[in-house]
Amino acid sequence: MNNCQTALAAALLAGVALAIPAHAQSPEEVAAAALDAAPVWDGHNDTPIQLRGRRGNVLEGFDFHDTQAEPGWGGAGESAMHTDLPRLEQGRVGAQFWSVFVSVNTTEAEAVQATIEQIDVTKRLIEAYPEDLRLALTANDVQATMDDGKIASLLGMEGGHSIGSSLAVLRQMYNLGARYMTITHSANTPWADSATDDPEHDGLSEFGVQVIREMARLGMLIDLSHVSEATMLDAMDATDAPVIFSHSGARAVNGHSRNVPDNVLARLPRQGGIVMVVGLPDYLSEAHRIWYAARHAERARLQAWWRGEPEKVSAGLSEWDAANPMPLATISDMADHVDHIREVAGIDYIGLGGDYDGMATGPVGMEDVSGYPALFEELARRGYSQQDLEKIASRNMMRVMREAEAYAAAQARMKPIESPVN
226 is annotated as an active-site residue: yes
Which entry of 82, 161, 185, 201 is annotated as an active-site residue?
185
Which entry of 226, 256, 337, 340 is annotated as an active-site residue?
226
Give, in order, the Cα–Cα distances in Å from 131 to each of 85, 123, 141, 147: 11, 14, 16, 13
Q: What stretches of 3-42 show up as alpha helix (H) in DSSP? A: 3-19, 27-37
C-alpha 200, offset from chain centre? 26
Nearest to 176, CA basis, from 197, 155, 145: 155
185 is annotated as an active-site residue: yes
Which entry of 223, 282, 333, 355 is annotated as an active-site residue?
355
Quick one: which H or E segment has residue 179? strand 178-182
Give 334's contacts (C-beta < 8 A, 6+ positions apart).
277, 279, 284, 363, 366, 375
197 is annotated as an active-site residue: no
Which DSSP symbol is given to 81? P
Pair 80, 70: CB distance under 8 Å: yes
Which entry of 161, 201, 247, 340 is annotated as an active-site residue?
247
Nearest to 227, CA basis, from 252, 261, 254: 261
Q: Is residue 20 exposed (0-12), middle (13-18) or buried (19+ Cβ within 10 Å)?
A: exposed
158 is annotated as an active-site residue: yes
Pair 138, 405: CB distance under 8 Å: yes
198 is annotated as an active-site residue: no
256 is annotated as an active-site residue: no
C-alpha 380, offset from chain centre? 21
Could you count the other beta carbons within 10 Å of the beta carbon of residue 208?
25
46 is annotated as an active-site residue: yes
C-alpha 313, offset from chain centre? 36
Alpha carbons 259 and 333: distance in angstroms, whole number:
14
Pair 50, 82: CB distance under 8 Å: no
Nearest to 292, CA basis, from 334, 263, 256, 316: 256
Alpha carbons 42 and 313: distance in angstroms, whole number:
40
Cα atoms in the 13 Å half-sphere on the side-chain side of 281: 20
Which entry of 70, 84, 141, 158 is annotated as an active-site residue?
158
C-alpha 103, offset from chain centre? 18
Which entry of 42, 44, 82, 340 is annotated as an active-site residue?
44
Active site residues: 44, 46, 158, 185, 226, 247, 355
